[in-house]
Homo-oligomer: A and B are copies of this chain.
Amino acid sequence: MALTVVGSIAFDSVRTPFGERERMLGGSAVHFALAASFFTEVMVVGSVGEDFGEEHIEALRSRGVDTSDVERVPGETFSWRGHYDADLNIAHTDETRLGVFADFEPKLSDGSREAEALFLGNIQPDLQRRVRAQCDGARLAALDSMNLWIETTREALRAAIAEVDCVILNDAEIRMLTEEPNLARAARELMGTGPRIVVAKRGEYGAALFTGHGFYALPGLLLEDVRDPTGAGDSFAGGFLGYLDGCGAFDPDDRTLHRAMAYGTVLASFNVEEFGTERVARLSADEVSERYAELRALTHFDVPG
């Protein structure tokens, strides 16, 4: 079992009501890979600049992530600066410097290409399609995207979605993309174009899953200490797909998908507790299992006797 992720590797500078940090390791591929590394072998495909240090690579490697397809090129690493006010659901972007990410053209080694599972992080949809074509043996391919691509390259995104098995988007993005305000109908519309699994990320409200058999939903954990929500969605996707790949579920049944939803929720909940990758970097497998059990207790109810 192996899972390839293609996406951004970045330096994030973030300010929230709970503090601030400069140039933390971040980006969709990083958050995804760290979360998925609890379940399976992960290979990251991405590009970084000359300012990317050995300690940053080591942060991934120490979690067992294969970084041999992280290409170092002249220039500076993609960087994002943003802040959150009291409402942590809304990210305010202060500065984006694409750096080497502007010319990113994913180069996959044979190992990355031959993975059974593939996650196309939030990059330009035509790039996603080219990577998908290279990984033609992937048995479970998923993609994420963002409002920018829905607004500027809608048709390319539609084409990319038609070529994957699983779509993982924010609920507002699913509505925007389909122009259908009812989420269940919107998900069904997307499934009609190709994917057999649609996951709607709902921020602090959790996530919903749609398959040909119906829907499923889990609330998020209601934590008192949320310090930095950056990367929560990618951590969710990493836990979700990482679990599926780790148990070889490339055509997962609903029961397996429900567990994957729970692991995604658990990894996202750890991610937001501290800044950047701080919390997930020192997370243990036991803590993941404990919170999985906690999430069960916090969402389950019995049948009246």
Contact = CB atoms under 8 A, between A and B. Distances in A.
Interface stretch (A46-54, A120-128, A182-190): A182-190
Interface stretch (A108-116, A134-142, A254-262): A254-262
Given A181-B88, A184-B224, A205-B202, A302 B259 contact: yes
A224 B226 CA distance: 33
A138 B202 CA distance: 38
B296 A303 contact: yes
Which residue, A217, A296, A303, has most C-beta atoms of chain B within 10 A?
A217
A87 B226 CA distance: 28
Nearest to A258: B301
Nearest to A216: B298
A223 interface: yes
A293 B303 contact: yes
A182 B226 contact: yes
**Copy count, this protein chain:** 2
A292 B298 CA distance: 17
Contacts of A258: 300-302
Nearest to A259: B301
B218 A299 contact: yes
Contacts of A262: 301
A19 interface: no
Nearest to A17: B181
A219 interface: yes
A26 B300 CA distance: 32
Interface string A257-296: 0110110000000000000000000000000000011001
Contacts of A182: 88, 224, 226
Contact of A208 (B184, B202, B219): B219
A299 B303 CA distance: 14
Contacts of A300: 258, 296, 299-300
Contact of A215 (B86, B88, B298, B303): B298
8 contacts: A86-B181, A87-B181, A184-B222, A205-B205, A214-B298, A217-B298, A261-B301, A300-B300
Q: Which 7 A-B pairs give the minimum distances between C-beta atoms? A: A217-B219, A205-B205, A258-B301, A86-B181, A184-B224, A215-B222, A184-B222
